[in-house]
Amino acid sequence: MRRPQRSPADSSPKRAAGIPGHLPWAFPADKGNAAKTSRVTFTVEPWMNVVRLTVTHDELEPDSPMLHGVSSGWPSILSSLKTLLESGLPLPGTEKRMTEPPK
């Protein structure tokens, strides 16, 4: 899959250096203010006989649109990822980028 070219001013996530198995990303929390960011950290670690993925999204403004969006967004994304890993196909409807919370 190819992605379109992004401009330097694009709001793509920024990766921060971390420890092995720990990947933090900074996301713009406000489209109008690139300096305001929230942080998503992916942690991969052994757990019993499998691997556990933990996603932590913090540094969010209370009651912000971003907080409301990720509260429903991350569970959908992670459920689809689990289905993709188990079956080879994502959950229906999760291939498209959501621009608002589900109704």
The number of domains in the chain is 1
**Domain assignment present for 39:** yes
What pLDDT score was predicted for residue 83? 92
pLDDT tens track of the chain, all 103 residues?
Answer: 444 444 444 445 555 556 778 888 888 777 767 778 899 999 999 999 988 999 999 999 898 888 888 898 899 889 999 999 999 998 887 777 666 655 5
**Domain assignment present for 92:** no
For the segment 18-34, what is each residue's pLDDT rounded down to a tens digit? 677 888 888 877 776 77
What pLDDT score was predicted for residue 98? 60
φ, ψ at 81 (rounded to 5°): -60, -45
d(CA 41, CA 15): 10
Residues contacting 77, CB < 8 A, separation 6+: 94
**Domain assignment present for 7:** no
Q: pTM of the entire structure?
A: 0.67
**Domain assignment present for 1:** no
Residue 52, domain extent: 14-87
Q: For residues 59 and 37, is the Cβ–Cβ distance under 8 A? A: yes
What pLDDT score was predicted for residue 49? 92
**Domain assignment present for 94:** no
**Domain assignment present for 103:** no
**Domain assignment present for 77:** yes
Work out the burial of residue 2: count CB atoms within 10 Å of its CB; fewer than 13 is exposed, 13-18 middle, 19 or more buried: exposed
Nearest Cα neighbor of 56 from 41, 46, 45, 43 is: 41
d(CA 72, CA 66): 10
